[in-house]
Amino acid sequence: MTAVLADPRPADLRPGVRRLGLGKPLPLAGGLGVLVLLAVWSAGSAAGWIDPRVLTAPWTVVTTGADLIANGSLPEHLGVSLTRAALGLVTGVAAGLVLALISGLSRVGDALLDGPIQVKRAIPNLALIPLLILWFGIGEEMKVVTIALGVFVPIYLHTHNGLRSIDSRYVELAETLRLTRGQFVARVVLPGALPGFLLGLRFAVTGSLLALVVVEQVNGTAGIGYMMELARAYGQTEVIILGLVVYGALGWGADALVRLLQRRALTWRRTLEG
């Protein structure tokens, strides 16, 4: 049976041009690769291709997680880790922000601060750990300071860059509008540097977790890293994998949080995302 009713619109004839752009995004784009990986992992474990001593099956990780939550040890370790990361993050962000403002807003500050900070940036943070252990011991203080030192650099760099890249036309405008220095900082400088600061914050959050992993394996007595070290000693692959999953979830969650903050705070920006 053929359609009798003619379509009122003419046929869609258009010049054939080879598409070189990417086209429409796939559904589930971000998560697709992760789902495929999980499927391969599950299938491999179920079929017995993967030795559980090398890589535990996904469901074992889940049940281990449930057990450790039930006996209270996972929440305890997680609490310790989160407190460390948060303390380091807050200290580092505050330090980076203050230093960026001082060196971004005054020539003297720039001359005095920027050089040493660039030197600090050239030294890998983790290479400072032996010195920090000598200075602060092996307790919490050293751990928080290490995290803060890793955090302040990206905050400083991106905020400073944000401050310096504020269009000089807006500075001129502020002059013709006779703004006071305080008004200029509050209405022009800080909002103008906010995108840079938030980008720095994204790096800082991931950086704080990175530093966390390292310091927790230095003579820890609690924390996710300590939990994993202990599991290594007893050959508990499933606990190690669980620790990795928790670190991954923390990193992803924190980054998602900052991205949400970015979207909220930067509604004035018209970007590619619309």
Partner 1 sequence: MATHTGRLIADDVTRQDGTAPHGVVPGAVPDDAGSPAPGAHPAAHPAVPGDGTPPAVVVRDLYRTYGMPKGVLDGLGLEIADGEFVAILGRSGSGKSTLLRALAGLDHDVTGSGEIRVPANVSVVFQDSRLLPWARVLDNVVLGHEAAPAEARAAGKAALAEVGLAGRERAWPHELSGGEQQRASLARSLARSPELLLADEPFGALDALTRARMHDLLRDLLRRHRPTVLMVTHDVDEAIVLADRVVVLDAGRIALERRTGTTPHATLRAELLGALGLAPTDRRKDRA
Contacting positions for partner 1 (CB under 8 A): 169-170, 172-179, 183, 187-188, 191-192, 194, 267-270
Q: Which of 120/187 has CB closer to partner 1?
A: 187
Cβ within 8 Å of residue 144, ≥6 positions away: 84, 87, 88, 91
Q: How far is the CB of 162 from partner 1 (least distance, A)?
A: 12
Q: How far is the CB of 47 from partner 1 (least distance, A)?
A: 55
Q: Which of 82/179 has CB closer to partner 1?
A: 179
Contact by Cβ (8 Å): 213, 186: no
Cα–chain center distance at 76 = 23
Structure tokens, 240: 């190690």
Helix (DSSP H) and strand (DSSP E) numbers for the chain: 12, 0
Q: How far is the CB of 180 from partner 1 (least distance, A)?
A: 8
Contact by Cβ (8 Å): 58, 45: yes
Q: How far is the CB of 108 from partner 1 (least distance, A)?
A: 18
Give the HSE-up count for residue 108: Cα atoms under 13 Å, Cβ half-sphere. Answer: 0
Q: Which of 141/175 has CB closer to partner 1?
A: 175
Q: Which of 69/186 has CB closer to partner 1?
A: 186
Q: How far is the CB of 195 from partner 1 (least distance, A)?
A: 9
Q: Which of 71/106 has CB closer to partner 1?
A: 106
Compute the distance between CA of residue 179 and CA of residue 169 in angstroms, rounded to an integer. Answer: 14
